Amino acid sequence: MSDQSLELKGSLFPLSVLSCPDLSLNALQQQLQQKLAQAPAFFYQAPIVLNLTEVEQAPDFDAIKQLFNELNLVLVGVCGANSSIKQQAQRAGLAALQLGKDAKTVKATDTAETPRQTTLVTNNVAVPMDSRIIEQTVRSGQQVYAKGADLVVKGTVGAGAEVIADGNIHIYGTLRGKAIAGAGGDSSKRIFCYNLQAELVSIAGNYWLSESLQGSFWGKPCCIKLQDDQLVLAELV
């Protein structure tokens, strides 16, 4: 088209937020590798934001970038940093992002459960979830993200389409594409669908591809949840 011109539009993207109390390279590397081993494909070239709320002294951003690079992660920016750390991050070519209100709950839950562990953020714990409702079918090539909310799709999610929610996902048609619930890391979230034929389902970073889903629930109504870090399929009564 000859009337094509530059276009700049605001948009929202799901990003994983990494919180790690110890930002020394060794500790970070070790813990990240552990985390990645659980779901290598899911995090492959994933954009990551480093949460620096707890951090008082600026880490070596260039070295951290290098490390992420080696682990096939993409460090896009930092959040929660004080102003001098923020400046150094910006000098290293990182974006300074605003930390969402609800992400504040991270620290409390994390330290209670898994002290001094790297977590790809768990948030929204006590905040009541909004829901986003999609009236039609989500078609191949389309992506819907319900940020900080449940997602309800009245129609079908086509092959090659992707639905993502920080909360639960409800699909009243057939799920043929990908569904990613608990995208913010909340492992209590679930996926409900009327007919399971998915390419991928994931809850809080734990995912299954369609081959693993070819059991008695394939083509049937089904609820997917996470139990002891394992995805479990159950009947939708």
Chain residues in the site for another protein (CB under 8 A): 1-4, 136-142, 155-156, 158-161, 173-174, 176
Of the two residues 2 and 227, which places its CB atom closer to another protein in the complex?
2
Helix (H/G/I), strand (E/B), else coil: 91: helix
Give min distance, CB of 174 to another protein, in A: 8
Angstrom distance (rounded) from CA 147 to CA 166: 6
The answer to whether the CB of 133 falls within 8 A of the CB of 154 is yes
Give min distance, CB of 3 to another protein, in A: 5
Residue 225 burial (CB count, 10 A): 19
Angstrom distance (rounded) from CA 52 to CA 183: 20
The answer to whether the CB of 163 falls within 8 A of the CB of 187 is no
Of the two residues 39 and 144, which places its CB atom closer to another protein in the complex?
144
Residue 136 burial (C-beta neighbours within 10 Å; 0-12, 13-18, 19+):
exposed
Give min distance, CB of 61 to another protein, in A: 38
Of the two residues 14 and 155, which places its CB atom closer to another protein in the complex?
155
Of the two residues 9 and 115, which places its CB atom closer to another protein in the complex?
9
Give min distance, CB of 133 to another protein, in A: 16
> What residues pair up with 90 in beta bridges, in sequence order?
none
Give min distance, CB of 139 to another protein, in A: 3
